[in-house]
A = this chain, B = another copy of it.
Amino acid sequence: MNTPFDQLTDSIRQLPGIGPRQARRIAYFIVRKDKSWVHSLSETLRQARAEVAECMWCRRLFPTAYAAPACTVCTDSSRDAHTLLVVEKDVDLENVEKTGVYTGRYFVLGGTVSLLDKEPEKKVRIRSLEQLIFNKDRDVREIILALSATTEGEDTAVFLKERLTPLLQNHPLTLRVLGRGLSTGTELEYVDADTMQSALKGRT
């Protein structure tokens, strides 16, 4: 018989980065708590889900408390409206905001694609992106692909370039990607050929 406790363990197991032993430890931690604690967590889950909306422009999640269809970055007129940074996921956007070095706007793609995918357009929000960049009110002039320097990120950049380049030909829109080079911590003793080549090309 699959008890509610086993179901709880299974649900926790589905969360990102949780292994089977940790799932069990967390399940016990939860059911050992007071009922009021568990009810409060249960309620927080529902509320957190109820009180977020996807921004109509960038597709990030944001608190509906603002009673607006768009998030604070997309409606902040002090941000550079002409530049759009395309990231994979919400936490990427949050981390870039935390660095404090970017002043433009964002688009959250919602995933990555592989070059082997048959219907890549189902895995990322390519149509929402197209609508956003060709929306005259938004006045986007430069798109910067900000994907991770991993196989998934690079495949996704290839897909977006192939898809967007023909569309951009008659528009005053530039498509760029983040610069490659030495990142903090890279040592010359271990640098790989791709990074070295970019670092040489991008010497300043």
Contact = CB atoms under 8 A, between A and B. Distances in A.
Interface of A: 1, 3-5, 7-8, 11, 15-18, 21-22, 24-33, 35, 38-52, 61, 63, 65, 87-92, 94-96, 99-102, 144, 146-150, 153, 176-204
Contact of A38 (B27, B46, B102, B181): B46
A3 B65 contact: yes
B46 A42 contact: yes
B186 A149 contact: yes
A188 B90 CA distance: 11
B149 A182 contact: yes
A45 B36 CA distance: 12
B178 A200 contact: yes
7 contacts: A18-B26, A32-B61, A99-B192, A100-B193, A101-B196, A177-B204, A181-B181
Given A1-B65, A31-B61, A190-B95, A181 B179 contact: yes
Q: Which 4 A-B pairs have the closest CB atoms?
A: A179-B202, A181-B181, A179-B181, A8-B48
A178 B182 contact: yes
Contact of A178 (B51, B150, B153, B181): B181
Given A178-B182, A193-B100, A202-B181, A25 B32 contact: no
A16 B27 contact: no
A153 to B, nearest CB: 8
Contacts of A184: 149, 192, 194-195
Contact of A179 (B18, B27, B49, B199): B199
